[in-house]
Structure 1
């Protein structure tokens, strides 16, 4: 994995549907109208419903799984989120948009035998948009 530091991986596109947004609202209790009420949301500068920022962030595992030939640590038993150094929600994701993840391995180190920590620069791109939806630096730990 250390030899992959600085390399970039890009996922396939994933649609962020209104059903996905509604399910996230149900799971989190965040029913703000800009997410779940297409009529009212159409009257805002967004012009329609938008995904929750935290929904966009939570797509990281799905988008990571959709990276063709993604590098994996041999013998990995599990991975866990450790936290983020930075997260910025740059551009709203309109319902029906397609997004993809761009991942750059920034650091990889063994914390103790069988426990590794990786820092990844993560960007969510919106198809047809110049600015990304989200930029983050995320830390995960992998156990072998």
Structure 2
């Protein structure tokens, strides 16, 4: 899998409207869900109690926290794009986030990304990336969002 290399505002600007590619699949395990629950203090049974989830959940199994799937963005994004020539990168925001489908334990997910917009704000580049988290074997994605990064490139 080849990464797109971005080294400047001009590189980003040339990619507006273009799909950048997709990450490899990542399997979300119960261990990862439990560790995320520990880190966030969110131990709701729908995430952490497989036995109860099998009998009482409408999904028939535990599901990943929505925020766990969001937290995979940096890892999956780095498989698609390598941003070089940086002084600093800041996660600026997430716009238009919509959770479409829960991610069941042991599902495989991957990120698909395209550049929606890029603006040069007096040396700080504001990049809006349209992302979709696909679930292997499912028609609906886990979520769709516009992720906004601020890039400070070296001159």
* 2:112 corresponds to 1:102: yes
In structure 1, the gaps of 5 or more residues are none
TM-score when scaled to structure 2?
0.86
Give matches, 1:127-142, under 5 Å. Answer: 127-142=136-151
Alignment correspondent of 1:3: 14
| Selected match of 1:121 from 103, 123, 130 | 130
Q: How many residues align?
A: 140
Match of 2:48 in 1: 36
Counterpart CA distance in 2 for 1:86 and 1:101 is 16
Distance 1:65 1:137 in 2: 16
Q: Does 1:20 align with 2:32?
A: yes
In structure 1, what is the equivalent of residue 85 of structure 2?
A: 75
The SS at the match of 1:47 is coil
User: Offset of 1:71 from its aligned partner?
Assistant: 5.0
Q: Give the aligned CA root-mean-square deviation in angstroms.
A: 1.1
1:38-53 mapped onto 2 (5 Å cutoff): 38-43=50-55, 44-53=57-66
**TM-score, with structure 1 as normaliser:** 0.93
- Segments of 4+ moved more than 6 angstroms: none
Tell me, in whole angstroms, the C-alpha distance in 2 between the residues paired with 1:71 and 1:4.
14
Partner of 2:79: 66
